[in-house]
Every structure is written in structure tokens, then in C-alpha cells.
Structure 1
Amino acid sequence: MNPVIRAQLRDFAKANSITAYSPEKQFEIYSIFSIMSGLLGENIDAYDVHLEGDEFGVDGITVVIQGEAVQTRAEAEEKLGAIQNASVEFIFFQSKTSTSFDYGEISKFFDAILGFFKGDLGGESDQVDDLIGAMDAVYENGVGKRNPKLSCYYVATGNYEEPVRIEKLRANFRGQLEELNIFDAKTITIEMVGARNLQQWYRAATSAVEVEIDFPRNVVMPSNGHVEEAYIGYIDAANLLKLYISKDADNKVVGINRAVFFDNIRDYDAKSKINRAIKDSVRVGGGAEFVFRNNGITVVSKNIDRTGDRFRLEDFQIVNGCQTSNVIFDLVYGDQGAEGSGDQSLVASIQVPFRLIGSRDDEFVSSIIVGTNRQNPVRDEQFWALRPFMKSFEEYCRSLDSEEIIYFERRDNQYRNQAIERTRVMQPSVLMKAVAACLLFQPQRAARDYRGILSEYENIIFLDDQDVRIYHAVAYLYYRLEFLWRNQRIESSYKTFRYYILAGIGLKLTNSTNVFSMKKGKLTAVAESLIETCKDEEVLKKAVEEVVGIVHERLKATGVTGQERIRDAIRSEGFASAFREKYAHPGASVKK
């Protein structure tokens, strides 16, 4: 194996608690992470994308709907039902530690992808069957304005030299995919990934985003106690593009780096009347009028190093200007991947209103994000994560000793450049699911309806005057379970019952009592008991076995078998009610 990749892999395995895996399995997850986070800018856990068995021809599959990975039919249906015309992408991975790009292995990879969509890959594993169910839901529920995007990545540790036989195989495979007529043909990606790309993308995924731009037409903005420095003016398209284009190891532009955008870049529609009109006006009359017709872009950077008119930005986000950024990318490089449709001569003529703000004050940055994005379709949990309680929760979790510390990621990729155990990073949506199961005792709804739970209980949970310790205890429990799974200390099959495990432990420690009605002293005691349970591995494993035993007992009593039927059963209110009854004392109830 390439020595640089070996060193990166060693660090990655330690940071992601997968040292118990074989080197081959570690490499598979590392490859997925490097591509998903470093190239595509997706904030999706590579461990969840990875297939745990020895499935034919493929190591990782994910179905991404509006930026979130779904793993089952129910999750896909819930996501598609919540968002009209949601963007959908299917991504496949196959990784080999060999330095060679093997024709036979690549052929198997292509056959596996075709088999996934034709149904021939069914039965390979429960994971694959669940993902096929998610795929079926996508096409059964309608794909909206655009057919799904498809991306396929075959990884080896050598350099890909484009041998004729493999290039012919790749061309034939592309033709087969296009003949299915179920994808957006312009966005089909089939990549052979080598060592140089892996190294570059891994560094991009684990380092602060850094770029240099020329911004000569700037005016210093008024001083502010929350801002180190700030500028307003306008910038040409060439420099603007430097902020968000993604390149491969050969410096070829391969797309947009989603990681630098706060708002939801997937809501961009290249074919909308407005965006088409903007592009047509530029192509016909040049870009001279663009600066007068556009509201511009706002960038917030934690560090700005200015030398004359050259600005070096580190750890920055484009907090407003998603549509503008996409339009300019399309004009210069082609409509979302349509080769030959771009015009790079336009970079000199297009000028864009531009605000550059240097600030390390998270609260002030949050106020900018809210102020510039309220009119945009940003995910609800992104704004929810900026609430004052979440700031307090983040600070508390981060202040604890090394054993109990949790890194609450209020903004996507907030901790990407820090050398920390990645398993301890928790996203807002994950916290909401864990709280829904462990404290609200709603395991049947936690995974697929956490937004509904948030809306229903918004006056009860995450309130500014609430004690953050009980929430930290739940987050820590979620982390400890994940740690045990990744280190193969509890059965991986128990993941199906993840939210019932959280609920069962919560029910037992609270005596099935509504924690939000408890007095402060009692609530503190519950939080401390939960932490102690988590710290004692044998006690925690015993608690997991107890909950799984109750679930299996209930499944046996109802005669439910088969993975799909089991998933349907545990999502029912009747099943959850019977489960809660096992823990409840006579007369006890859980009230909102």
C-alpha cells in the first residue's frame, strides 16, 4: 500500500474507532470518507455507507435525498414526502488495496450496480435489501423535476493510466446506464480513483478550507465589536469560483464543493425559468449587467490574511448566495456537468456584489446566517441548531474530560479540521433522534419522524432554561453504543433496534417517568446514572441484551419474521406501546 495512504489510514481508523476492523475494511471506509467528504463535500458518515458483509462487487452504497442519506424504504418515503422535487443521488463504491486496476473486479463492480437497479442484487444482505427498498421508493413516489444523479467510484492505490480495455468497458457501462432511462444522463459519473486523488481528498476532508482570492474593488465596512475585519464591494467570477470549485489530483474541475455552503445547494434548479433567463441574458449580452441585477454573495471567514488586494481565507463558509454561485458555475463550466456548454471567457466580464466578513464570534455569525437565509429553503434543523440552548449545550459537551466529551456540530463540517475522535461528533438531527427515543420514549418515530417530534414537542425540549446535562447523557449513550458497534463488541444486527435500545435504557433509568416534569435534583441523578451505565461496558452490554431480548420476545409473540417485516413492525405504534408497557409501573404514563 502507498505509504502516505497507509499513514492517513492509520489516523483515520483511530479517529473513527474502527481499529478492530481488518486493514481491507478500514481502507474501504477510508475511501468512502475521502470521496464523500473530501470530493463531494457531503456531511454523511462513511461508516453508515459501508456495507458490512461480503456483497458481490460493491463495498458501499448510499441513497442521498436532499443531502441526507436514507437507508430504508420508510426513511426514503418520509424524506420524499416532506420535500417536493427533492434531489436524489445514488452513490456506489468499490475499493481495493491493490495498486492495479483489475478488469475483472471493475466488471463485477459495474454488474453489481446494474443488478442493484434491476433487482438482481437483492438477497446479498439485509443492508442491500433495505437500500433497494429505498431505491424503489424513489421511483415509486416520483422523481420530481430531475431524474436522480448516479455516481460510481472504483478505488485502487495505484495510478490510473486509462488502459484501452478498461476505458472501453467503462464506455459500454455508461451506455447501459443511459439505456435504463432512469438517471439524469448528464450527471452520470464513473470514476477510477487512484492514490493521488485519495491523498488529496482525505486532506481536504480533514483540513480547514483555505483559498486565496483577489478582491481589489473593496471598501472597508464599519467597525463592529463582533468582527475582526469586513469588506464590501464586487468581485469577478474567476476569483469567486475559487471559493467553491472542487478539483481532482490533476487540477481538473470536477464540480462544486458543497462543504463551503451553509444553505442547501441542492435546491438549485439549473432548468428553472429564472436561472435560465439569467444565463441567457449573460450569454447574449455578456456579463456587464450581472452586478446590477444580483443581490450578491456573503462569505464569513474565521481568518482573513490580507496583503494588498489579495485575501487569504481560512475556514470560511458561503452563508448566502447559493443560487448565484450555481448560475456562475453553469455559465463557466457548463450546466451541471453538460460538457461543452460552458464559456470560460465569461469569467472576466461577470462581476458579483460581494461581502467578506472576518469573525470568530459564533453567535454573531449565526445571526448573519439567519438574517441572510430566512427567505431561502434551508433545512429547519440548521436554524434550530443555532438556538441559544444549543450554544450552551455545545460549550458544556466540549468542556468535559476526554472520556465524556461530545462535539456537537451546530454547523455542517464545524470540526472537520480538528484532530478529534470523529465518533464523538454529533449532528443536530442525530441528537434529536436520540432524545426522541431515550427521553420521549418514541422509538417507533425517532428515525423517520424526528422533525415531526421536534415540532410537536418544541415547547418542552431544548428550552433555554433547561439543564444541559440530561441531553449530554443521551448524546454520550448514543456515542458509546456507536463505539461498541464499530469495535465489534456488540452484535451489528442489533443496529436494527438502535432506537428501542435507547428507549429501553431511558425507560428503565427514569422508571418510565417524564424527565421534563422531574425536579432538578432527580433529573441530575438520572443523568449521572446514565453516564455511569455508559462508562461500565459490561453493564451497558447487559442493558443492550436485555432490551433486544424484549424486542425479540415481542416479535416472536406476533409471529413477525424477515428483515423488512421486522422493520415495519417496530415502526408501529402498537409495537412501541407494548414495549413501553414492559417497563411501565402500574398507572405510570408519559405525558407531553
Structure 2
Amino acid sequence: MDRITHSMMQEFKESMEISNISDSDLFEIFSSYSIVSKTLDDTFDISDIVGANNGNEVIPSGIISGGGNDTGIDSIAITLNGTLITDLTEVEDIFNENNTIFEAVFVFIQSKTSSKFNGSEIRNFGDGIVDFLSLKPRLKQNNFIKNRWEIVNKIIDNASNIQNIICKVYYVTTGKWVNDTNLVTKIESAKADIDELNIFGSLEFIPVDADLIQNMYKESKVKLTQTVDFPKKVLLPSVNKVNEAYLGYIKIGEYINLIQDEAGNLRKSIFYDNIRDYQGKNPVNDSIEDTLSSDKSDRLVVLNNGVTIIADDIKIIRESITLVNYQIVNGCQTSYMIHFNKDKINPETYLPIKIIASKNDEIVTDIIIANNSQTEVKKEELIALTSFQKKLESYYASFTKKQQKLYYERRSKQYDRRVDIEKVRIVSISTQLRSFCGMFLDVPHMSSRYYGRLFKDYSERAFNDENNMLIYYTSAYALYKLEFYFRNKNLPKEFRKFKYHILMMLRYHVGGEKIPRFNSKSIETYCDKINQVMFNSQKSLEEFKYLISIIKTAVDDLMSNEITSKKSLNDILLAELKKKNSKI
């Protein structure tokens, strides 16, 4: 392995707080994380992709299969509308919540520390994918592979409700890809076999060498910067808290460079602050598509309201403009339709555009709301912009001891470029809601389900301005500590699926069954009891081992992929906990 890749792996290892791992297993995690980071819109917790295999080595379990009976596939990531799917119930929830899924993506990864690309291994990798995607797989499957097979089949069964199903296959080594004819033939043969299944609207088989995986990893850490031609512009008048702003129109061919990466994939993360996600096929989007793909596409400049972009910084050099760390806050639907129809559009077609440079939270929030005021903005769509979320972000920052430090991520990937922050200490809004609901609202069976449903049912109750901030930190820190022990093999892998149930049991066992009001002063004392146990490595590990022993006693089938979604499990575990405590 070359020194640069090895150095990046070690940096990654520290950021994920992983120990006792071989270089080959670490490379699987490192490469899979770097690749999946390009697929997912949102920040994802490393706990969702790191676990343990059938042996004793650490292997990611959210996307990494590892171990025996893996059908020759190291990693599998499945997304629906940009959401990473790790449980069958999430698939059911998403289809119940959405009439149409605009995109399902299956990512398969094989990683080798070898400095050469091996044709036989490429062939075996392709055969493993074909077997995995078949109705009746012949190869023996471990529990992880079986679970993902069930998820994939559920998605394929609902293919009529999905606009596009995409397959991306990555074969990774530490060597150099030189388009060797024999290897290209092996890849084309594997692609043909997968394509014969008639599942995918789009299929890519990508050989990843040391240079490419290094670039993928670096892209996950640096600010997004893009330069395009923008001659048709006027400088807007000076505005307080706005560095500069321009109004004009841009050629579609140039705009595509802003919304797509070098591989032609849509940069979904740039729409995070848009409030509304892509809405799929509807009359408005159909109308945009009709205009773009017709001989009347030149009318777009007068028919479309245009797009609004906010950037941290913009630089003008003659007729070009460079955007640094930018977000498209209005124009998500237009951007998606341009992306989907890029091959049909005249690149000389013009699109109205407004570009604003500001780092001020207040003005950015006002711009986002103003540019999305055509229709009612729902409360849940503004969650990341609320004063409550800003206050929670500041509260997390008040913990100064390194051991106790966590970082609340109010905006997607806001800490990704901070090399001084361990990624596992970042708490997203999703992670916060899941941990809080599991620990303090006694609904751990809901925490592992589709986030959209959890948010709809519990966000108003959970994110309450009157609540004491400590309850949020307490639940998130307990989850961080629990995931740390799973990640570093201190706790058995098969109990990770019960993590939100363990949080609930932790509160009852350490804090006590009677919980103070969330807005009372006494809730701080209650949470402090839990935190003091979590801050102590020996006590926290002993506590989690004790709670796991209760699960082991109470649950008959630990391998069941559906047990954690059943509400009845909550009462069973709490009854067993109470029973065991009474005997002590």
C-alpha cells in the first residue's frame, strides 16, 4: 500500500475512534466510507456503517458485510430518495409516506489492499452480485446479507412506484488503473450479467485505484468550489450582512457544472437548505420537463422563476464566477429536471439566476424563507432554521472537556471540513431525535424506523423550546458511548440493533423510573446521574453489559430483523429489568 493512502487511512481511523483493526479491514471501511459519502445527501453516523463480522475483526455492518457467507460482496449501501436504508421497516415506512420514489440506488463495493487489479476477483465479485439479486440465491448468506437481500427484494417488488433504480458497482484496490484490455473485458462481462436481470435503469461498474479513492476521501473534507461562466449579470445594490449579490441568467450547460460532479452525478448535498426536497413527478415538474425537452426551450428564461444560490464566498474574474461552499435554496425542482433531461437540452438555453454571498445565519435564514414563500412553508421543513436548533448547537459547544465533547450538526455536513473533529462525535438532527425518543419518550421501537415518520410523529414533542437542553445532550452522549463500545468490539455485535432499547433501559436503571418534567430544574440532577456513569469508561461499559444480559434473557431470537420494531418488546425488557433489579 502506498504511503499516501496509508496516511489517509490512519487519519480516518483516528476520526472514527477505531482501534484493534488490521490494515485490510481498515481499508474496507475507509474506501467504503469515501465512496458512500458521495452517494448520501446527509451526514451519516459512522455507527451506521461500522460493526463486527463473524470473526473478531471490526468490519462495518451498516454497509459492510464482512466475514463468511458474504457472497463475495464486502459492502452494500441501499438508498431511497437519498436516505440510507438499513432495516426492512424503513422501506415499508418510506413507501407508505411517499406515493412515488424518484430514485433507488444500490451500491456494491469490493475492496482489496492488493496493488493489482485481479480479473478473477472482478469476475467473482460480479457473480456474487448476480446471485444476491436473484429471486433464489444459491450462495449461503450471513445475517447481514440476508437482511439486505430482503430489503432489495422489497424495493424491487415496488418497482412500479420508483422512477429510477440505479446500480453502482465499485471494485477498489491500492494499485493503478490503466484500462487493461483483459480487465475491461472482465468488467464488461460482469456488467452484462447484472444487466440481464432487467432491474436497473442505470448501471455502472467503476474500477477505483489509489488515486481515485484518495480523491474521494479528500472530497469528503474540502469545501465545494466550482467556477462557471456568468457573463450576463448585474451587481445588486449593497445590502447589510450580504457581501455581494448578482442577478442575471446563465447557460444551462454552465449551470449543469454547478449541480453535477465530474462523474455526472447530481450533487444532492447542495439542496440541503432548499427546505423542500425534489417532489417527483407532478404537474409543475412535468411542465418544466416539457419546456426543457421541446424546441421551445429558449422560453425557459421567461417562463421559469429561476434559481437562488447562497455561497460563503464568490469571486469574479472577468466573465467567470467562482462559488465557495454553495447551496441552492430555491430551484430544486428546476435543477432536478435539468439533470434528468441534460441529454435533451440545448446547452445554450438560458436560466434566470440569483447568486448571493453571505455567512450570516440570520440573513441566510431570511433568504431561504423568502425564496420559498410561494406556498406555505411547513413547520417541520424549517426545523434546522429554528431558534431552538441554534440554541441546542450552542449548548453542545458549552461542553469544553475533550472526553465530554460532542458537536451538534444543525446544518448537513457543517463539520465535515473540520479535521480536528472526530466524525463519530458529530450529532445530526436525525441522531438527536432518534436517541431522545428512544431514551426519554419510551419509543425505542420507533427510533430505528424511517426518519420521516419519526419526525412527523414526534418532532414537535421532542424539540420543545421549554425543555431543558441537558436531556438532549444526555441521550446523544449515551448513544455515542454505546456505539463506541460496539465499534471497538467491547460489546457483542448482535445487540447493536437494540441500541435504542438499551438507552431506554439505561434511563430507567440509572436515572430511575420516575422522571421529572423536561422543563424542571430537577431534570438536570436526573440527567447528571446518567452522565456521570457515561463519563466513566469502566462504569459505562459495565452498565451496558448488564443491560445486554437482560436482553439476552428476555429475547428468544436475537437474529430476528423485526423484533426491535415491535412495541411489545419495550414492556418485556422493562419488566425483565425490574425483575432482575429486585433480586439484587
Taking structure 2 as the reference length, what is the TM-score of the superposition? 0.88
> Residue type of the partner of 1:134?
I
What's the offset of the Cα at 1:20? 2.7
After the TM superposition, which residues 77-92 of structure 1 pair with which residues of structure 2 at under 5 Å, given as runs? Answer: 77-86=92-101, 87-92=103-108
How many Å separate the matches in 1 of 2:167 and 2:505? 39
Q: CA RMSD in A?
A: 2.7
> Residue type of the partner of 1:53?
G
Structure 1, 108-117 or 451-460: larger mean CA deviation: 451-460
> Residue type of the partner of 2:93?
E
How many Å separate the matches in 1 of 2:219 and 2:191? 29
Structure 1, 84-93 or 525-534: larger mean CA deviation: 525-534
Aligned counterpart, 2:496: 495
Aligned counterpart, 1:443: 444
Partners of 1:381 and 1:429 within 8 A in 2: no
Aligned counterpart, 1:140: 157
> Residue type of the partner of 1:299?
I
Q: 2:245 aligns to what SS in structure 1? A: strand
How many Å separate the matches in 2 of 1:460 and 1:41? 26
How many Å separate the matches in 1 of 2:188 and 2:375? 39
Partners of 1:431 and 1:475 within 8 A in 2: yes
What's the offset of the Cα at 1:25? 1.3
Aligned counterpart for 1:325 among listed residues 335, 354, 359: 335
Flag the 1:190–1:379 CA change in 2: closer, same or farther, 3 A.
Answer: farther
Q: 1:298 aligns to what SS in structure 2? A: strand
Partners of 2:91 and 2:450 within 8 A in 1: no
1:65 aligns with 2:80: yes
1:175 aligns with 2:171: no
Deviations 1:542-567 (A, max 9, x none): 11122222222222xxxx33612xx4
After the TM superposition, which residues 425-444 of structure 1 pair with which residues of structure 2 at under 5 Å, given as runs? Answer: 425-444=426-445
How many Å separate the matches in 2 of 1:110 and 1:379? 45
How many Å separate the matches in 1 of 2:360 and 2:478? 30
Flag the 1:505–1:411 CA change in 2: closer, same or farther, 3 A.
Answer: same
How many Å separate the matches in 2 of 1:351 and 1:214? 12
Flag the 1:189–1:515 CA change in 2: closer, same or farther, 3 A.
Answer: farther
How many Å separate the matches in 1 of 2:40 and 2:90? 22
Deviations 1:409-451 (A, max 9, x none): 2222222211110001122111111111111111122111654
Partners of 2:235 and 2:245 within 8 A in 1: yes
Give % identity: 24
Partners of 1:436 and 1:443 within 8 A in 2: yes
Deviations 1:512-556 (A, max 9, x none): 234435631x2111222222111111211111122222222222x
What's the offset of the Cα at 1:8? 1.4
Partners of 2:71 and 2:139 within 8 A in 1: no
Aligned counterpart, 1:150: 167
Q: 1:416 aligns to what SS in structure 2? A: coil
Q: 2:324 aligns to what SS in structure 1? A: strand
> Residue type of the partner of 2:311?
S
Aligned counterpart, 1:545: 545
What's the offset of the Cα at 1:369? 2.9
Aligned counterpart, 2:391: 392
What's the offset of the Cα at 1:132? 1.2
Aligned counterpart for 1:100 among listed residues 109, 116, 138: 116
Aligned counterpart for 2:133 among listed residues 117, 138, 161: 117
Flag the 1:147–1:225 CA change in 2: closer, same or farther, 3 A.
Answer: closer
How many Å separate the matches in 1 of 2:536 and 2:227? 49
After the TM superposition, which residues 7-46 of structure 1 pair with which residues of structure 2 at under 5 Å, given as runs? Answer: 7-38=7-38, 43-44=43-44, 45=46, 46=49
Flag the 1:324–1:225 CA change in 2: closer, same or farther, 3 A.
Answer: same
Q: 1:415 aligns to what SS in structure 2? A: coil
How many Å separate the matches in 1 of 2:20 and 2:278? 36
1:126 aligns with 2:143: yes
1:305 aligns with 2:329: no
Partners of 1:268 and 1:322 within 8 A in 2: no
1:258 aligns with 2:268: yes
Aligned counterpart for 1:229 among listed residues 230, 240, 244: 244
How many Å separate the matches in 2 of 1:329 and 1:518? 47
Flag the 1:400–1:355 CA change in 2: closer, same or farther, 3 A.
Answer: same
Q: 1:124 aligns to what SS in structure 2? A: coil
Partners of 2:278 and 2:336 within 8 A in 1: no
Flag the 1:270–1:27 CA change in 2: closer, same or farther, 3 A.
Answer: farther
How many Å separate the matches in 1 of 2:470 and 2:362? 22
Structure 2, unpaired ranges of 5+: 51-61, 580-584
After the TM superposition, which residues 181-220 of structure 1 pair with which residues of structure 2 at under 5 Å, given as runs? Answer: 181-184=198-201, 187-220=202-235
Aligned counterpart for 2:300 among listed residues 285, 290, 298: 290
After the TM superposition, which residues 325-344 of structure 1 pair with which residues of structure 2 at under 5 Å, given as runs? Answer: 325-332=335-342, 334=343, 342=344
Aligned counterpart for 1:53 among listed residues 67, 70, 75: 67
How many Å separate the matches in 2 of 1:453 and 1:239? 39
What's the offset of the Cα at 1:368? 2.8
Structure 1, 301-310 or 55-64: larger mean CA deviation: 301-310
Aligned counterpart for 2:258 among listed residues 243, 248, 259: 243
Partners of 1:267 and 1:377 within 8 A in 2: no
What's the offset of the Cα at 1:330? 4.4
Flag the 1:139–1:40 CA change in 2: closer, same or farther, 3 A.
Answer: closer
Q: 1:92 aligns to what SS in structure 2? A: strand
**Number of equivalences:** 557
Partners of 1:382 and 1:411 within 8 A in 2: no
Deviations 1:376-431 (A, max 9, x none): 99998663232211111112213322222222222222222111100011221111
What's the offset of the Cα at 1:42? 5.9
How many Å separate the matches in 2 of 1:454 and 1:280? 37
Q: 2:265 aligns to what SS in structure 1? A: strand
1:277 aligns with 2:293: no
Structure 1, 398-407 or 413-422: larger mean CA deviation: 398-407
Deviations 1:47-94 (A, max 9, x none): 332224242311110111111111122222122222222121111100
> Residue type of the partner of 1:426?
V
What's the offset of the Cα at 1:458? 4.6
Partners of 1:116 and 1:132 within 8 A in 2: yes
How many Å separate the matches in 2 of 1:43 and 1:462? 20
Partners of 1:230 and 1:355 within 8 A in 2: yes
After the TM superposition, which residues 414-493 of structure 1 pair with which residues of structure 2 at under 5 Å, given as runs? Answer: 414-419=414-419, 420-448=421-449, 451-493=452-494
Partners of 2:435 and 2:447 within 8 A in 1: yes
What's the offset of the Cα at 1:40? 6.5
1:574 aligns with 2:568: yes
Partners of 2:106 and 2:167 within 8 A in 1: yes
How many Å separate the matches in 1 of 2:385 and 2:299? 36
Structure 1, 220-229 or 154-163: larger mean CA deviation: 220-229
What's the offset of the Cα at 1:26? 1.3
> Residue type of the partner of 1:153?
Y
Aligned counterpart, 2:354: 355
